[in-house]
Amino acid sequence: MRLFVGLGNPGAKYANNRHNIGFAVVDEIARRHGFAPWRRRFQGETSEGTLDRERVVLLKPTTFMNESGRAVQEAANFFKLAAGEITVFQDELELPPAKVRVKIGGGIAGHNGLRSISSHIGNEYRRVRLGIGHPGIKELVHGHVLSDFAKRDRAWVEALCEAVADNAGLLATDKDSTFQNRVHLALQAKGIFDKDDDGAA
């Protein structure tokens, strides 16, 4: 069994923020794979289903980003899951838009959602880093992540969510590098990346 956590802030005000791309991805996983209706529990919303014959619980914490770890810990305790059975989908400033990188453990790079999760369950969970680009100046970061995607971004955001959702079963079965490659190829096929783009960050 696996726990897939999408990070974001609850409420319509934040729904289209760059910071909420984690919510968007798990919503798309639920949609594309026919997961059960969302219900409120574990200080969040959950939906259950199966990916590649692996039972998966999706979780969207409703604690606001900075307290995401409370919801993750509550769900992990209930299902008796170790950190290694938890995958977190997060926005990543240090990657260009639509780039995806998967890693286990490592630093939190100033991400408050990851900081909260690491403080509650330790650091050895999987992170799916979803590139949203950097505004270029440190002082602009806060406004950048909490502002909505621009209209010109919608095509790649939707394509990214669809590609991640289509290949999510690979994450549930620990095929991280295959997942990363398949997502990149899917986006390339839709013209999101140039054909000579090798996927390097």
Q: Class of 2-189 per CATH?
A: alpha beta
Mean pLDDT of 125-140: 89
Spell out the alpha helix ranges (H) of the chain.
Answer: 21-32, 68-79, 112-121, 141-145, 154-166, 168-172, 176-189
Where in the sequence numbering do the catalytic residues fall? Answer: 19
Query: Residue 24 gets which letter from DSSP?
Result: H
pLDDT score of 102 more than 60? yes
CA distance 191 to 194: 7
pLDDT bin (cut points 50, 70, 90) of residue 201 is: very low
In what order do the strands lie in the sheet containing 54-61?
39-41, 44-51, 54-61, 2-6, 86-92, 126-131, 100-104
Higher pLDDT, 138 or 89: 89
Beta pairing class for 39-41 and 2-6 = unpaired
CA distance 11 to 48: 21
Residue whose token pair is 């639509």:
98
Report pLDDT digits (tens) over 155-189.
999 999 999 999 999 999 999 999 999 999 999 99
Report pLDDT digits (tens) over 11-46.
999 999 999 999 999 999 999 999 999 999 999 999
- Please, which residues bridge with residue 129 across strands? 90, 101
